[in-house]
Structure 1
Amino acid sequence: MTDPIVMTPVARVVGGRTEPTDDYWGGTRSIIRIDPDAYSAASVAGLEEFSHLEVVFFFHLTDQTDLNPGARRPRENPDWPEVGIFGHRNMRRQNWIGVSRCRLVSIDGLDLHVEDLDAVDGTPVLDIKPWFAEMGPRGETHQPAWVSEMLGDYFAPAQAVRK
């Protein structure tokens, strides 16, 4: 399991946020600009029929020395339990890969205009998939209470930032 995997970005994020933050991603608009040297307009044929995308990206701004594969408290909050690296969805991961679901607003050539993508300007995009409802969770879902507490403002509008 130690053989490296080489990946080439298919696109980059343009616009939107310039700095990664923990909260207030709601309403963030950006563009996923697909590489025109590798893809033609045919690569997005039919994509306009979907409301949402699932985007796989590389956390390119993360300090790759800041990795703790063991357990730690989410956001260093002493009120929340220590959970292991696979009990988080943060950027401190072995392969620095993020997954986000965002709303597809429009398509202009190879520019996918999106909202609520929690990736910053310049982020390398590794893959783009349309969201299929049938690929979502099946059966009941559950999660610990700290997750809802932690993410209560994650997709709140940016203007809701409290001072």
Structure 2
Amino acid sequence: MTTEGPRLPTVELTAIGRVSSPLTALTDAPRQPDEGAPAAWLELDPALAPALAGVEVGDAVVVLTWLDRADRRTLAVHPRGDLDRPLLGVFATRSADRPNPVGLHTARVVAVEGTRVRLDHLEAVDGTPVLDLKPALGPVEER
């Protein structure tokens, strides 16, 4: 008898671009966008220009990133790194360290220049791979 779980499929993703941000070190990045995240650019692959049709200044968007500097072996953390808080499984937190470090960011488009999209705030560090850009559903708070 085996105690292994079911064999899960492997998923392959291709980045559509990269973040261009003044944040260059993980220690400089705020944990959430409302904690001082700066404006940043998404620099997308030029071949994807047609995919930006309809993305306009003022749009609320959700950006999915691959947090490539995360520790994928981490399964439990003290929320916000606070050792006084109880240890929780990463699926109960917003920790970047997790088995699949997909970043989820909400922002507002402030400029579109070719295949570059400027967002009003983004807590991802410079060079972070961008996986997808989607319109946000429902209200996005002004920051």
One fold, TM greater than 0.5? yes
Matched, 1:15 2:21: yes
Change (3 A) 1:13 1:56: same
* SS of residue matched to 1:105: strand
- The total of aligned residue pairs comes to 131
* Contact map agreement 1:20 1:120 (CA 8 A) in 2: yes
Kindly report which structure 2 residues correspond to 1:1-163, keeping only aligned pairs within 5 A, or say none: 1-21=7-27, 23=30, 25-36=35-46, 38-40=47-49, 42-48=50-56, 50-64=58-72, 67-69=73-75, 71-133=76-138
User: Runs of 5+ in structure 1 lacking a partner?
Assistant: 137-155, 157-163
* SS of residue matched to 1:48: coil
Instruction: Give the superposition deviation at 1:88.
Output: 0.7
Q: Distance in 1 between matches of 2:11 and 2:92?
A: 23
User: Runs of 5+ in structure 2 lacking a partner?
Assistant: 1-6
* SS of residue matched to 2:68: coil
Q: Distance in 2 between matches of 1:46 and 1:119?
A: 24
Q: Deviation digits for residues 22-80 of structure 1, max 9, x if unmatched?
A: 537525011101101x312x32111106432100010112244xx332x4321342332
TM-score (norm 2): 0.79
Instruction: Give the superposition deviation at 1:102.
Output: 1.4
Q: Distance in 2 between matches of 1:26 and 1:76?
A: 18
The residue aligned with 1:152 is none
Of 104-113 and 45-54, deviating more is 45-54
Change (3 A) 1:43 1:2: same
Of 49-58 and 103-112, deviating more is 49-58
- For 1:121, the aligned partner's letter is D
Change (3 A) 1:108 1:49: closer
- For 1:13, the aligned partner's letter is V
Q: Distance in 2 between matches of 1:109 and 1:125?
A: 16
Q: Distance in 2 between matches of 1:75 and 1:51?
A: 30
Give every structure 1 segment of 4 or more consecutive aligned residues whose post-TM-superposition deviation is greater than 6 Å: none
